[in-house]
């Protein structure tokens, strides 16, 4: 069951990385 978890984490990491590069204003968590 950790397979989809690893995939999800990878996708989220890439997503947040791309968002961090494109929009520097989106840093409010």
Residue numbers of the domain that contains 8: 1-28
Q: Which residue has the tokens 């890439």?
A: 14
Task: State if pTM tops 0.75.
Answer: no
pLDDT of residue 24: 62
The DSSP symbol for 25 reads T
pLDDT of residue 6: 94
pLDDT of residue 8: 95
Tens digit of pLDDT for each residue in 1-29? 689 999 999 999 998 888 776 666 555 55
Structural domain total, the chain: 1
> Does residue 19 contact residue 26 with C-beta atoms inside 8 Å?
yes
User: Which residue intervals of 1-29 are DSSP H helices?
Assistant: 2-22
pLDDT of residue 17: 85
SS3 1: coil
């Amino acid at each position: 069951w950790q397979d989809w978890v690893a995939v999800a984490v990878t996708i989220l990491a890439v997503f947040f990385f791309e968002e961090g590069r494109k929009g520097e204003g989106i840093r409010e968590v």
